[in-house]
A and B are shown apart, each in its own frame.
Chain A
Amino acid sequence: GAVVSQHPSWVICKSGTSVKIECRSLDFQATTMFWYRQFPKQSLMLMATSNEGSKATYEQGVEKDKFLINHASLTLSTLTVTSAHPEDSSFYICSARETSGRAYNEQFFGPGTRLTVL
């Protein structure tokens, strides 16, 4: 089956620093990847849609200058949390949609990255 990896799986950083999270589709090409954030006991909240070769589309209320997304290739998207603050501490999850077009939008999720900002 399709596999999506994320790196790192967890990260602790100081307030004010930037953190980069990578999302890779390992055995398929993904023109579209999605970035979600999940707080404890809450649903996944879509932050942005990452499109290979073009600018990401951000959801309402998500600061694009704070959450920088780069989708440089068909297998890699990165999310950079800039000037992180404690309120950015969360579980960040990416997903990828296979380019070959499985019907009806099955998304393959990465294992998630736990970010803790001190």
Chain B
Amino acid sequence: SQKIEQNSEALNIQEGKTATLTCNYTNYSPAYLQWYRQDPGRGPVFLLLIRENEKEKRKERLKVTFDTTLKQSLFHITASQPADSATYLCALPWRYGNNRLAFGKGNQVVVIP
């Protein structure tokens, strides 16, 4: 089965700087990859989807890259704000479909004012 790895250590970053998170996956080549935000005690909220033929995707201060050779996606938050503090989850479709998603453990971001 596919394996999704995200850094377990929280990322502490100064307000205004760029936060960069990494998602690595193994065992197969997904057609797309998604990023979600999750706040404590809440369900995930969809942020961005990037397809296998796209190198980069942007949405406001968010940027996602997708390197299918490295089997890696990078998630950037530029000009970070304290309100960006949350856990960010990487998700991939299951290898054998049926619209299921597999999630990484998530990477916590703490933006320090």
Which residues of A pack against B, CB within 8 Å?
A: 4, 6, 32, 34, 41-44, 46, 49, 57, 91, 93, 95, 97, 104-112, 114
Task: Judge whether B69 is part of the interface by a CB distance below 8 angstroms.
Answer: no
A109 & B44 in contact (Cβ 8 Å cutoff): yes
| Contact size range, B | 20 to 34
- Which one of B43, B100, B102 contacts A111 once the chains associate, using CB atoms below 8 Å? B43
For the complex, would chain B's binding face be called helix, strand, loop or mixed by DSSP majority?
strand
**Is the beta-carbon distance between B43 and A109 smaller than 8 angstroms?**
yes
Instruction: Give the residue of B46, B49, B89, B98 whose beta carbon is less than 8 angstroms from that of A43.
Output: B89
Which of B89, B93, B100, B105 touches A34 (beta carbons < 8 Å)? B100
Interface centre among A4, A34, A109 (most CB of B within 10 A): A109
Docked-complex contact A106 and B89, CB < 8 angstroms? no
Nearest CB in chain A to that of B42: its residue: A111
Write 29 A-B pairs (CB below 8 A) sorted by A numbering: A4-B43, A6-B43, A34-B100, A34-B101, A41-B105, A42-B105, A43-B4, A43-B89, A43-B105, A43-B106, A46-B100, A46-B101, A49-B99, A57-B98, A91-B41, A93-B44, A95-B43, A105-B32, A105-B99, A105-B101, A106-B46, A107-B46, A109-B43, A109-B45, A109-B46, A111-B43, A112-B41, A112-B43, A114-B41
Contact present for A97 and B44 (CB under 8 Å): no
